[in-house]
Amino acid sequence: PAALPAAPLGFTDVNLNSRNTYEVSRRRSAPEHLPHGGGTAPAAPAPPPQEPPERARHRLGIAGAGSSFAEFFTRNFFTKRTKELKPAVQSAPGWKLFGKVPPRENLPKDSKIIQQEYEARTGRMYKPPAPSARRKNIEFEPLSTTALILEDRPANLPAKSVEEALRHRQEYDEMVAEAKKREIKEAHKRKKIMRERFKQEENIASAMVIWVNEILPNWEGMRATRRVRELWWQGLPPSVRGKVWSLAVGNELNITPELYEIFLSRAKERWKSFSETSSENDTEDAGASVADREASLELIKLDISRTFPSLYIFQKGGPYHDLLHSVLGAYTCYRPDVGYVQGMSFIAAVLILNLEEADAFIAFANLLNKPCQLAFFRVDHSMMLKYFAAFEVFFEENLPKLFLHFKSYSLTPDIYLIDWIFTLYSKSLPLDLACRVWDVFCRDGEEFLFRTGLGILRLYEDILLQMDFIHIAQFLTKLPEDITSEKLFSCIAAIQMQNSNKKWAQVFASLMKDNKEGDKNHSPVPKN
């Protein structure tokens, strides 16, 4: 009996006209024996201890039902309204020109009914092709959406006519044939490249054995033999390239690894002084030569980041950044009369990729001590003009038509040769091809640098003959990246470095002799 009044209490919590959800929730959370008014009411007498209210409610089944009804009404009337789920309607999606529209509520017509309506309206009878003959004997299908042209239209659209289906079939067959032809051509090209690469790797492996076991142990006796020169022309194996370069360049300056460490420590001291102070008085007291050296050391930092930027190994944070910085800084302190010149970083970088640090510095210093490199890096204009004049002699001998074309535009060799000689083609050519040029350059000397230039002009002669001054200069400044070693070296081999039975050295010596005689006969009267 004490549990019976609890049933209406659950219903009194619900106020259908109220919108205050906070009041409703407060009332729901209040004890059930409190009155509605929210005021303080006298406590009701305790229920008999013999039976708890919960057990009485469970026994009678009244108050529990009332509480569940109260929660149901409270949740539905006062909580946030949820979106009612509609039953899924089985309807086909609509179609438009470039995609689907939302599904239609009404059921679509049957495809047979649509077909009958279309035939009745047009008076045409259409028999679709058999499914088995639709894509029969197709060995290759391109990975694209071109096959959609063979698909039937959706059921709610008019079916294809016989003529349209045949036309689509023909168009698809043509697309498949073209794609198959293109794929076969690319497959043959890839197969040819892989075959050539495999053959090249075999030649390199066999040549490496010969170089390691036969040539290098007997270097002085075999370096000038015909067999070694032929192997040299074919390219040095990468594993022995650095060693052969060091032996071919030599060490006329007698530089030791200890000497390299001495000049490297000097360079580090200079860099440290740059970071600690920027006083101009210290630079003035140090003398002119040291000031030039300091300027060169600062220029190195700016130029290293532009060395082989596509490799990302010489830039700041790269594995060879500090190494390249050290070699160039040590050389600047070793040869303050030369200092650092833009283009040196490419030569030092190629040597670092093939030699250890100290060996790279030794080869770098001796290489730049050669007459041609020394003339260019010291910007000896008279010597540079002699090299350009000698180049033009063989240019006219080998490529007379292109030579006249260049002359008609007054295009002189210095416009394109300076960049090639300063970097030894390491900036202008792909790195692997530049290394092969270096191989033969170490064998033949400075003559091969100019012979390589003539080979490049011969390779692109037909293209250059169609260009004017601006386009020729732009083309030769930035050569195509798809140039291959086979094509270039075949053109280089076709260049004859003889003029009237005179070789490169004889032609250059005669130009030097003429220059000396001209200096003796030169009049002291100033020119206008």
Residue 499 and residue 207: Cα distance in Å, rounded? 34
* Residue 355 Cα distances to 213, 239, 370, 379, angstroms: 20, 10, 19, 28
For the chain, the average pLDDT equals 77
419 sits in which H/E element: helix 414-423
Beta bridge partners of 502: 499
Q: Which residues contact 91 (CB under 8 A, 6 or more apart)?
A: 103, 104, 105, 106, 107, 108
Q: Is residue 490 within 8 Å of residue 240, measured between CB atoms?
A: no
pLDDT digits over 102-138, tens only? 555 455 556 667 667 766 766 666 555 554 444 444 4
Note the pLDDT of residue 1. 39
For the residues 74-84, what does the mean pLDDT come to?
A: 48
Q: Which residues contact 2 (CB under 8 A, 6 or more apart)?
A: 47, 48, 53, 56
- Answer with the residue of higher pLDDT: 154 or 327: 327
Please give the angle made by the CA atoms of 52, 53 and 59, to the nearest 5 degrees. 95
Note the pLDDT of residue 463. 95
Q: Is 95 helix (H, G, I), strand (E, B) or coil?
A: strand
Note the pLDDT of residue 172. 87
pLDDT at residue 140 greater than cutoff 50: no
For the residues 473-492, what does the mean pLDDT come to?
A: 92
Residue 251 and residue 47: Cα distance in Å, rounded? 114
Tokens of 469: 């001054």
517 sits in which H/E element: helix 504-520
Tokens of 59: 């026994």
Q: Flag the least confident range among 89-93, 175-179, 523-527.
A: 523-527
**Residue type present at position 301:** K
| Cα–chain center distance at 523 | 59
Q: Flag the least confident range among 290-294, 340-344, 346-350.
A: 290-294
What is the pTM for the complete model shown? 0.64
pLDDT at residue 291 greater than cutoff 60: no
Note the pLDDT of residue 248. 95
pLDDT at residue 520 greater than cutoff 90: no
pLDDT digits over 34-76, tens only? 444 444 444 444 444 555 555 544 454 444 444 454 454 445 4
Note the pLDDT of residue 282. 45
Q: Flag the least confident range among 156-160, 360-364, 398-402, 452-456.
A: 156-160
